[in-house]
Amino acid sequence: MNKSSQAKTLSDTQLTLASKTFRGFADPTRLKILHYLMEKERSVSELVDLLEAPQGRVSNHLACLRWCNFVSTSRRGKYVYYQLTDERVKDILKLIYEFINDNAAHIYSCTRM
């Protein structure tokens, strides 16, 4: 099977889901949250401090990430902790960072995205 026929095997639904997945990574605040969660699980207040952002905005982004199953929660006492749901999220982020390192000049100068 050549590359062009492999691309044709993706359904419209799969392409839509892939696009939505990439949108999860596309927002700078969500990307920062995921980056911080690569290191360890964190509470909302920790993320608010790290991001220097209003709690409402952080909570909205966390809700989005949770709804799409990028992150999950655990409660300990009165605190809710967030962690990456799947190790593959961390793997995707690592691949993105590698790609950026190899292509930074091209990405930076790109005016079409």
What's the CATH code, domain 15-109?
Answer: 1.10.10.10
Strands (E), the chain: 42-43, 71-76, 79-84
Q: For the chain, give every domain's residue range.
A: 15-109
Q: pTM for this structure? A: 0.84
| DSSP-assigned states of every residue in 11-73 | -HHHHHHHHHHHHHHHSHHHHHHHHHHHHS-EEHHHHHHHHT--HHHHHHHHHHHHHTTSEEE
pLDDT, tens digit, 9 for 90 and up, residues 7-65: 568 899 999 999 999 999 999 999 999 999 999 999 999 999 999 999 999 999 999 99
**pLDDT for residue 5:** 57
